[in-house]
Structure 1
Amino acid sequence: MSTGSSRRSAGLSTSFSQSGPPPTPRTPHSRAGRAEEGFTVLELDTFGDDEYRDYAQQQRAPLLQSATDATFPSGYRAAGDDEPDAAPGALSCVWGVTLAARRNMGLVVGCTVAAFLLLVIYLALRQPDTLAEYVGDTLASATPDANDLSVIPVGMDPADVISYANYTRFPLEPMQYKSECHKLTHDFEPQGGYWEGKQDVLHRVDAKTCSGTITYMLDGHVGLLADLGLIAQAAGLAREFNKTFFIDDTYWNRGKWTDYFRDLHHVDAGPEPGCLPPPPEELVACPRTAKHWLINSRTAVYHFGASYHDTFDDPYVQGLTRFKPLYARAQSSFSHTIVPNHATTELIRYARSELASMLPDSSVREDAYVAAHIRQGDRKGVSWAFHNAPVPVSEYATALLPLLNTTPFVYAASDDPSALDDLHSLLPDTAQFLTLPDSAVLKLNAIASDEAYVQVAFNKLGDEDRATLTKGVIVDFAMVSGMWRAKDDVAPRATVCGFASNICKLAAVGLGWERAFGDMGRQGMVDRATAGWIDVDLKGAVVPEWEAYEMFN
């Protein structure tokens, strides 16, 4: 008791007579209703030390007495008090045990815990399987359902959860993915490195689903080769970072990927062969660190810009040589991912066989012919010299003339058949042409373009017409680039094309690095005297002179 309490007790002790009656003990029905809890602090302060000892001696008898005892107050019987077998001694015993338990609660709890620990130690030593089974079941029952998408995983900030609650159809449409990227990034690339970002949707747990994926979504917003250039980079990233690559053709206006190319599972199974693609509602376009990252021609601008080059270009060299890692990535993708199916391969073989039949010497293969691709339609020149107009056909003819000194055989391709006629008329009569419109193979003649390619007009064609033209452009690309050729197939010595065309960009990949760009030297500049990739648009006026892909708004 504190000093202040002692002084208060001494001052109040005279209010009680030592010979008077002691304070009346509280019963279960007293004002507080809890006699077993003793005095309050205020009441203790009103007693002197001697008075408290006298009172304590009077409380040696149990506060709750038998109902038959003469001192039990009348009028407070509870139900069952009159039962004949209610033994007074038993009630006193029970109450005594209860009071003892209350006074020694810490000891009781400690003994209980000790007994439990002893049981665990015993099971761990003698029956570990039983213990593991019990603990596993207990933890499993306490773990939230992994398939419940309302449960945020441990360690994930709720602010980083991407919600698609406002959408009802999955996968989202390409423009919706672009909108999601805009909301997240505000059109600024994240700081801190290429693989930066925490946001993601919630995922179900399914052992059959691939643990990490990259998906490219086709929709027909851009031309086929523009999509293939982006696919080549995305598929390369998937290989390098141990993710499974998928193609989504839900909204593609050219049909199915397998209408033209081999099923990815047969050519690029990824690190988890046989795993399933993620549910479409789990595909995320931004950030690129999402578990199941999706890219399309509209969202590529968020991922393949400056940060992509900063991360994957070779920083230890100069000029175009810095792009060699991207070039190698594209080349690998055209070998392992973008592979023509049997029907498409057969069309390409028809074209190569027809050109080979024109050669006087069947042993010539590597430099059998020169190629030209003339892009017309909705593609304009990049150089100011052409003032936002298609590159004139005469520019292609001028670039081809010196090449005809090595071989007179020309494979010419264009989206506009009239441009092919113009080129033929501008070259000497000694030049021997092969084009799809003039092919003697009916299957090749049937897939030739009959008018200049305009994306908006193409999108309005019927499904069959779009599929036919798609096959034609794949064959043309294979012939002007040498892509997908077998060891004994004919290959072009050089390719003349315009920078604005994506067929032109990827033709360099088919030619091979040295054949395409010549002896670049330490400065990494294209050697135009020996290079087989000849751009008639910019003509080396812009550095770097080549790009692996095109990005779109």
Structure 2
Amino acid sequence: MVGQDDLPDFPTPIVMSDHGGKSKWTVSIPPSYDFPLSVKEYGDMCKKCKEVAARVRDMRHRTQILDQNLLSQDAPNDPYFIDVAEAQKTGLLPDVAAEWPSKGQGHDGDLVGENKDSLVEKPVCESSMTFIMETADAGIGHTIMQLWTFYGLAKRQGRAFFIDDSRWAYGKYTDIFQAPPVPLCRPPPRHEMIPCPPRARHLVVTSETAKEMWAGSISKPHSDFRAQDEQGLRELFELAHEGYRALWDLNNNDAQYVSKRVKEIRDKTTVGNGNPNNGVVVGVHVRHGDCHPTEYQYHGTYIPMEIIANAAQEVIDSKHNGTGVDGGDDELAKRKSFIVLASDDPTVYDAEDFKGSMRAQEQIRLASKQEVHKAIPDRHVMHHFEDEAFGWEGGFFAAMFWNLGLSSMSASNAATAKNKQLAPSAEALRLRSYVGRAYLMDLAVLADASDTVICTVSAMGCRLLAVMMGWERAMEHHNWINVDGPYGWTGLTF
């Protein structure tokens, strides 16, 4: 057993003795610590968990449990790990919440949708997974793919699912999405919510531990989310799709706009006059900025827009060749077909290759340098500050994101590791939220309005679009087309 005076005053896995004097291990987090811990603290703890688990097995003279398949429902439990609540119940740990000599109770964090003031107290969840939105990645796409995938995994494992947005770079989750489904149970005391081992009763997942957990734990060959067979690929895809279906609810204003925009786009394809076919919509997603293609010859630059535009035209032609009433091409339907375009680079919309295309959405747009200097700014355009001499030409770069909300005097220091740990201003969060909303509305319109989507798989937005379309529509009907080399869909990559 471990006495309260023997417990470390910092979060760490610990070795202890059971009532028979045999070694066990658990994870100790002082309740005086704020929840959630930092992403780095959780990541470091996962590494220590592996070391401590190995040490206990050595002490018990047992061979190591293989990493593979630890995340599946029938995964073997580490017989020497004991959950925090169980350790307290059996007396192996003191009643941490009541007896721990602490400096007070830490902050409980911000679990989205949790109603702490409810008059009806729910029972504590039997098991849970809490996804921490905080990440050092400026892009929103990887976080969303992780969120969806781990939601799917939590449901497969029978866990309640919670989201914490305490330190999300894009601000409050409910400023962008509607609150997620609320479990019929409440989260446990925060010191019971731990990042390891993967079979812990109440698991915390972060951008840092996602890699550690999944890449080292899921059965091969799917360790890097690049399954080599269709069955494994579909399994990963369906996990993400389950999360998408449960969590994809944009805030009311954005959802209403997207619905109207999709209808507007689809109405433009109507031929009428008894024509057997309507036009087709080809959704095109172009990612520039700091995301470069997987295809080697374009690795240091971007896929030429001509290649993307030609692929879109081929789709339009193939849909209508030989579909006319006389067996010829349906020229009327072709003329009602067009590209719907979304890009992080405002110059793409003016490219000759995409002349006649339609923007996916105009609710929030990233401004070009020309738009920044307009005498009367467009209220729909996401501007940099007027004293800056550049716009979003070239696309989304991480440094530009971290600079949002800063004056040009301080912007040069914004992307340092130290400054990224500082709490952003309300203005910075407001602008970041606009960027996230613009990105997600682009995806929503492309997924819902397009007959076929063309994109580059190197961009996470491209992979998200496939998930949003669903396996049958995207893969079986070949309506999701990658123009970035001979690669198929992948989920998360690290």
- Kindly indicate whether the alpha-carbon contact (under 8 Å) linking 1:220 and 1:254 is maintained by their aligned counterparts in 2: no
Within the candidate set 470, 482, 492, 1:535 is matched to 482
User: What CA distance in whole angstroms lies between the structure 1 residues aligned with 2:441 and 2:20?
Assistant: 51
- Kindly indicate whether the alpha-carbon contact (under 8 Å) linking 1:171 and 1:281 is maintained by their aligned counterparts in 2: no
Partner of 2:129: 214
User: What CA distance in whole angstroms lies between the structure 2 residues aligned with 1:183 and 1:366?
Assistant: 60
- Cα deviation code 1:87-106 (max 9, x no counterpart): xxxxxxxxxxxxxxxxxxxx
- Kindly indicate whether the alpha-carbon contact (under 8 Å) linking 1:366 and 1:492 is maintained by their aligned counterparts in 2: no
Larger Cα Rg: Structure 1 or Structure 2? 1
Displacement of 1:306 in angstroms is 5.8
Displacement of 1:465 in angstroms is 0.8
> Taking structure 1 as reference, are residues 498 and 154 closer, same or farther at Cα in structure 2, changes over 3 Å only?
farther
Partner of 2:438: 472
- Asked if 1:414 is matched to 2:343, the reply is yes
Displacement of 1:438 in angstroms is 9.4
Partner of 1:245: 161
Query: Aligned AA for 1:466?
Result: R
Q: TM-score, normalised by structure 1?
A: 0.59
- Cα deviation code 1:146-194 (max 9, x no counterpart): xxx9999879966412233598332101111111112223699961641
- Asked if 1:459 is matched to 2:419, the reply is no
- Asked if 1:433 is matched to 2:358, the reply is yes
- RMSD value, Cα: 4.0
User: What CA distance in whole angstroms lies between the structure 1 residues aligned with 2:269 and 2:177?
Assistant: 30
2:283 aligned counterpart, secondary structure: strand
User: What CA distance in whole angstroms lies between the structure 2 residues aligned with 1:161 and 1:358?
Assistant: 61
Within the candidate set 308, 314, 329, 2:218 is matched to 308
- Asked if 1:387 is matched to 2:296, the reply is no
Partner of 1:355: 265
User: What CA distance in whole angstroms lies between the structure 1 residues aligned with 2:493 and 2:201?
Assistant: 25
> Taking structure 1 as reference, are residues 347 and 537 closer, same or farther at Cα in structure 2, changes over 3 Å only?
same
User: What CA distance in whole angstroms lies between the structure 2 residues aligned with 1:365 and 1:467?
Assistant: 40
- Kindly indicate whether the alpha-carbon contact (under 8 Å) linking 2:341 and 2:349 is maintained by their aligned counterparts in 1: yes
Same amino acid, percent of matched pairs: 22
Query: Aligned AA for 2:40?
Result: M
User: What CA distance in whole angstroms lies between the structure 1 residues aligned with 2:208 and 2:218?
Assistant: 16
Displacement of 1:347 in angstroms is 2.6
- Kindly indicate whether the alpha-carbon contact (under 8 Å) linking 2:456 and 2:482 is maintained by their aligned counterparts in 1: yes
1:287 aligned counterpart, secondary structure: coil
> Taking structure 1 as reference, are residues 378 and 183 closer, same or farther at Cα in structure 2, changes over 3 Å only?
same
Within the candidate set 242, 256, 262, 1:332 is matched to 242
Query: Which runs of no fewer than 5 residues in structure 1 stay unpaired?
Result: 1-143, 483-490, 519-529
Query: Which runs of no fewer than 5 residues in structure 2 stay unpaired?
Result: 9-15, 55-63, 90-96, 98-121, 320-333, 366-376, 385-390, 405-427
Mapping 1:64-83, distance limit 5 Å? none
Displacement of 1:515 in angstroms is 2.7
Displacement of 1:414 in angstroms is 0.7
- Cα deviation code 1:279-331 (max 9, x no counterpart): 33322112111121111112111122264244989xxx973343112222222
Partner of 1:550: 493
Partner of 1:502: 460
Flag the structure with more relative contact order, 1 or 2, with Cα contacts below 8 A and sequence separation at least 6. Answer: 2
User: What CA distance in whole angstroms lies between the structure 2 residues aligned with 1:397 and 1:199?
Assistant: 56
Partner of 1:235: 151
> Taking structure 1 as reference, are residues 444 and 305 closer, same or farther at Cα in structure 2, changes over 3 Å only?
farther
- Cα deviation code 1:180-227 (max 9, x no counterpart): 112223699961641444546623789832121101111142322211
User: What CA distance in whole angstroms lies between the structure 2 residues aligned with 1:448 and 1:356?
Assistant: 30
Partner of 2:142: 226
Displacement of 1:385 in angstroms is 1.5
Displacement of 1:466 in angstroms is 0.7
User: What CA distance in whole angstroms lies between the structure 2 residues aligned with 1:456 and 1:467?
Assistant: 16
- Cα deviation code 1:37-70 (max 9, x no counterpart): xxxxxxxxxxxxxxxxxxxxxxxxxxxxxxxxxx
Mapping 1:20-31, distance limit 5 Å? none
- Kindly indicate whether the alpha-carbon contact (under 8 Å) linking 2:270 and 2:278 is maintained by their aligned counterparts in 1: no
> Taking structure 1 as reference, are residues 163 and 378 closer, same or farther at Cα in structure 2, changes over 3 Å only?
same
> Taking structure 1 as reference, are residues 403 and 278 closer, same or farther at Cα in structure 2, changes over 3 Å only?
same
Number of aligned residues: 370
Partner of 2:322: none
User: What CA distance in whole angstroms lies between the structure 1 residues aligned with 2:278 and 2:31?
Assistant: 56
> Taking structure 1 as reference, are residues 368 and 173 closer, same or farther at Cα in structure 2, changes over 3 Å only?
same
